[in-house]
Structure 1
Amino acid sequence: MSSLNKCLAIALVLSAATTLAQARDLTVVGFGGATQEAFDKAYFKPFAAQSGKPVVQDTYGGGLAKQKAMVESRNPTWDLVQMDQNEMELACEQGLLEDLDHKQLKNAPEVNPEAFSTCGVGAFVWSEVMTYDPKKFGADGPKSWADFWNVKKWPGKRGLRKQARMTLEIALMADGVVPTDVYKVLATKQGQDRAFAKLDEIKPYIQWWETGAQPLEWLAAGNVAVTAAYNGRIAIANQQGSNFPLIWQQQLYSMDYWTIIKNTPNKDQSYKLLDYILSSKAQAEFAHAIPYGIVNTKASAALDAKTVDALPNAPANMKDALLLDTPFWVNYEEDLMNRFTRWVAQ
């Protein structure tokens, strides 16, 4: 084969590969469960019906391994991806995500400016709160993280997420640290020791959960008496017949983000879906489907009082709330998670 023919053959292969990549359906990725069901209802199905193009869904448990492999191999199979804030910031620094182009989002002016980051825009505001089994304690259940530790007055197993982030903050607040001082204390060796010492007090009672569905399943089955859980999961369980209280005092809250994988061939379509997601109508539909805070200010202002009261970022629910400090965890997570893993195994 001549050099010219070889070049033509290579060009044809590359062209076919590019055409195949561009022909791939738009793939959106989330953490699954009730939240992704709400995404599907409010965003993905209506967008697919409007655009006439399918939206393929996938799920993952967080982390950057898949995104990194896709970008390094130059073969992205994901397009629009839900990420928590600290992983989004790390992925952005590592060049795994597209810089967000506001010009591609006609609904951007309606979005709270604080929801924008270099490589993402807020998907929703979520929180981790405390709840308990009302069949065990009635209306006189625990009302604070300090009460969470009181296994004499409120006996039974305690559910906590199996990770340092959020768990160490809860331990310090249970030990009397006010939310505004939590990260100042946790940044010190003495504060870290204090958090682990507090966890030592109830270690035999802790049942560690790793997915958002587990604590509510355990609570319904009577396997735990009191647990930390995501507010949206509690609300969905209550819609399905449970009666678990949401204890907003000292809630831990943060924002998840929508991101676009670097060099995806579906970048234009990703922006179209993202713009639909940010529209006031779609945002209101999402808030009604699951009570997580939305970022479109026009939609927020139009929500009914009952829906607003169930959102983490409702003014009444923000008293004594703790905003998760992403820069803190970017700096400290590796060391604290290593210590936490060793502590759990002891």
Structure 2
Amino acid sequence: MTNQNSGDQSLCGLSRRSLLESAAALLSIPFVAKSTVAWAEEKLAGSGEVIYFSYGGSFTEGIRRYVFDPFTKATGIKVIDATGDHPGPLIEAMNKAGRIDWDMTTLGPPYLEMHKAGMFAPIDYGIWDPESIEALPPNTRLNKDAVVGYSYSMVLAYDKRAFPKGGPKNWVDFWDVKSFPGPRGLYAAEAKFNYVSALVAAGVASRDIWPLTDDKLDRAFEKLNEIKPHITKWWSAGGEAPQLLINREYAIASAYDGRLVSAIRQGAPIKFVWDGAYLTNSYSVILKGGPNTANAQKLLAFMNRAQIAAGWTLGTGYPAPNPDQLKYLPAELRPLLSVSPENASKCIIEDTAWLDAKRADGKTNIDHIQERWTTWRAS
């Protein structure tokens, strides 16, 4: 691990020059560059609206400021917010009822099953800026009806105050309670993150993590049995782990990268590392049969411009996939992001297709590994 761990860079204590550079980058997004505005006015201008479903709160507020409002200003198309917790069940309900009430969203692993059911419209790459297509890593363009909207990671985070001489650098250190003492936290709800962390701690190479066969699960549980007595609280809500680190109720914990980025930018005394981070994606989709499909295609094309991708990242803390966005982001923010090539090379990418695949007993792999987790947690 180098000294440029993501958590080693906070937005506090910046030099005057870096502050000015950061301010310039931040201001460049809401007031979108003339080149992007001119392109949108020429290629995407229209009228009417597009209805976008997201999670509400600061997440939606950030997207509105950095993405939706600039889109409306450049194209004349209004973006209407629909908000809620999880879009998957709502999409299924709308399809069952035969009435699609909104146009776009970002969707996690349930995408695969819905894709198979034909719930999404093909993406019109013909209206995209060619540079946006070329910049996207090939694995972020899925089938013909989805593109990665943003990535999120489960990483190892720690309280800097607990380790003034240097904190843990990987999951092996998380399990090393003698060298790195203190209360620990892991995510209660989703088993997949903890299995991968445990296997990394057990010495399994990143390339050999997937698939999570039963023998690998057995090995993961051996490691989890070791650390279980040191888990003082199994966190459940996304903001809980950073807050417990700030409160000194945790010394070390797993946590979502976006939550940590937000906390660090507000001055939280937290660091996090990318070695062995679990990286997964949320996919941008356009609902088949939505009320404003043509406008949704335009919004999706706009969102994947490099400068607008940077705006998404600034607004949410979770990076959009276009790596060209890095030149529009504050220098102090770049090392905190999985889209940074150095960090991306250290991540373990989720094998979503394997998780979604059916077993001989008819259950999906994700259901199977979750059932084993639930039994273990209760023991």
How has the CA–CA distance of structure 1 residues 63 and 288 changed in structure 2, closer, same or farther, with 3 Å as cutoff? Answer: closer
Instruction: Confirm or deny that 1:154 pairs with 2:181.
Output: yes
Secondary structure at the aligned position of 2:270 is classed as coil
Pairing partner for 1:308 from 312, 316, 334: 334
AA of the residue aligned to 1:338: E
* Larger CA Rg, structure 1 vs 2: 1
Q: Deviation of residue 212 (structure 1)?
A: 2.1
Question: Which residue matches 2:288?
Answer: 262
Kept in 2, the 8 Å contact 1:165–1:329? The answer is no
Instruction: Confirm or deny that 1:174 pairs with 2:197.
Output: no
Deviation digits for residues 175-210 of structure 1 (CA, Å, limit 9, x no counterpart): 1112111115x22x2211111222222224433333
Equivalents in 1 of 2:216, 2:186: separation in Å? 23
Pairing partner for 1:93 from 116, 119, 122: 116
Question: Which residue matches 2:228?
Answer: 203
Secondary structure at the aligned position of 2:271 is classed as coil
How has the CA–CA distance of structure 1 residues 27 and 204 changed in structure 2, closer, same or farther, with 3 Å as cutoff? Answer: farther
Deviation digits for residues 254-303 of structure 1 (CA, Å, limit 9, x no counterpart): 32211112211111121121121112321233344455443335444665
Equivalents in 2 of 1:149, 1:257: separation in Å? 33
Q: Which runs of 5+ in 2 are unaligned?
A: 1-46, 358-364
State which drifts further: 278-287 or 105-114: 105-114
Instruction: Confirm or deny that 1:47 pairs with 2:87.
Output: no
- What is the aligned length? 321
Runs of 4+ more than 6 Å apart: none
Deviation digits for residues 193-238 of structure 1 (CA, Å, limit 9, x no counterpart): 1112222222244333333222112222233221111222211101
Secondary structure at the aligned position of 1:46 is classed as helix
Q: Which runs of 5+ in 1 are unaligned?
A: 1-22
Kept in 2, the 8 Å contact 1:71–1:262? The answer is no
State which drifts further: 36-45 or 327-336: 36-45
Aligned residue runs from structure 1 range 219-234, under 5 A: 219-234=245-260
Instruction: Confirm or deny that 1:129 pairs with 2:155.
Output: yes
Instruction: Confirm or deny that 1:117 pairs with 2:150.
Output: no
Equivalents in 2 of 1:223, 1:312: separation in Å? 27
Kept in 1, the 8 Å contact 2:151–2:279? The answer is yes
How has the CA–CA distance of structure 1 residues 27 and 244 changed in structure 2, closer, same or farther, with 3 Å as cutoff? Answer: same
Secondary structure at the aligned position of 2:268 is classed as coil
AA of the residue aligned to 1:89: L
TM-score (norm 1): 0.83
Instruction: Confirm or deny that 1:26 pairs with 2:50.
Output: yes
Q: Deviation of residue 109 (structure 1)?
A: 3.3
CA RMSD of aligned residues (A): 2.6
Secondary structure at the aligned position of 1:229 is classed as strand
Q: Deviation of residue 68 (structure 1)?
A: 0.7
TM-score (norm 2): 0.76
Question: Which residue matches 2:355?
Answer: 329
Deviation digits for residues 79-120 of structure 1 (CA, Å, limit 9, x no counterpart): 211112x32222101222222232243455344151211221
Equivalents in 2 of 1:330, 1:139: separation in Å? 43
AA of the residue aligned to 1:190: D
